[in-house]
Structure formats: C-alpha cells, structure tokens
C-alpha cells in the first residue's frame, strides 16, 4: 500500500465541500465494515469550487489497484490510497468525462463480469467449436 499524500484537510483553501465529503466517506467505510453495504457518492451532485475536486483527488491519493474499462468510451476505476474507497471516472466516446463517482465498497460492481455478458460470451465461445 502506498502512503497517501498528507494534504491537510483544514488547509483547504476552497469552499468547504471537502471536509464534509470526507466525513461522509468515513461513515460509509464504517457502514461497509459493519454491514458490508456499499455506498456510491455522485461527485457531480456537489457544488465544487474551482480546484476543489483536484484537491480532493490529491488528498485521496492513489492506491494499489487501478483498472481500465472500455465500454461506451473508456472508464477508469482506481482504488485510492484509502482501501475500500474507489475513484471512478466514466468517459464517453469523445473521451469527455460524463460521470465521476466515489464508491466505498470491496470491489466496484462494474469490475465484476456480468452474467448477461458471461452468457453472451459463453455462447460466442461455443460457436467456436462448430
């Protein structure tokens, strides 16, 4: 595990969104440990001031695992320096960001292979025998 960047929360020069958000993350982690229930936070729904999102990202840092997904444009799924806290970014075909989320979970759902795709894939594999 890499050491998270120690950017002091209180030193945030911005508009007061970071601190309460991190507090929410803290509670989500507790919930995850206690009830194994995952939480998703839509970062687009928060009124970030200029530079605030970047600040948050720097603060959370980069963890051990990151993945790239290519479906309807690329997506990056990255564990932050805080295990269980994932940073997700969805991009469209023009490589523009269309969604930004924090997922507090063991594994983001989107990383798992989906039954529907498995079924389709299996069928495709079966076709190879013919």
Residues binding another protein (CB under 8 A): 14-17, 40-42, 44-50, 52, 69, 71-73, 75, 90, 92-94, 96-99, 101, 109-110, 114-117, 120
DSSP track, 55-120? HHHHHH---S-EEEEESSSEEEEEE-SSTTEEEEEEE-TTS-EEEEEEEESSS-GGGSPPHHHHHH
Q: Min. distance of Cβ 71 from another protein in angstroms? A: 3
CB 67 within 8 Å of CB 79: no
Q: How many CA atoms lie within 13 A of 53 on its CB side?
A: 14
The residue (of 4 and 57) whose beta carbon lies closer to another protein is 57
The residue (of 52 and 79) whose beta carbon lies closer to another protein is 52
The residue (of 9 and 110) whose beta carbon lies closer to another protein is 110
Q: Min. distance of Cβ 88 from another protein in angstroms? A: 8
CB 39 within 8 Å of CB 28: yes
The residue (of 1 and 71) whose beta carbon lies closer to another protein is 71
Q: Min. distance of Cβ 92 from another protein in angstroms? A: 4
Q: Min. distance of Cβ 3 from another protein in angstroms? A: 29
């Amino acid at each position: 595990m890499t050491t998270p960047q120690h950017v002091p929360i209180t030193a945030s020069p911005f508009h007061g969104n970071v601190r309460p958000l991190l507090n929410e993350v803290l509670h989500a982690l507790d919930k995850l440990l206690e009830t194994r229930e995952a939480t998703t936070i839509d970062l687009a729904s928060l009124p970030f001031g200029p530079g605030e999102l970047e600040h948050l990202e720097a603060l959370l840092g980069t963890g051990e695992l990151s993945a790239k997904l290519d479906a309807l444009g690329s997506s990056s799924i990255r564990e932050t320096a805080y295990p269980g806290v994932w940073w997700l970014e969805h991009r469209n075909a023009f490589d523009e960001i269309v969604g930004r989320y924090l997922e507090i979970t063991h594994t983001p759902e989107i990383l798992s292979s989906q039954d529907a795709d498995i079924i389709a894939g299996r069928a495709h594999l079966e076709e190879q025998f013919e």
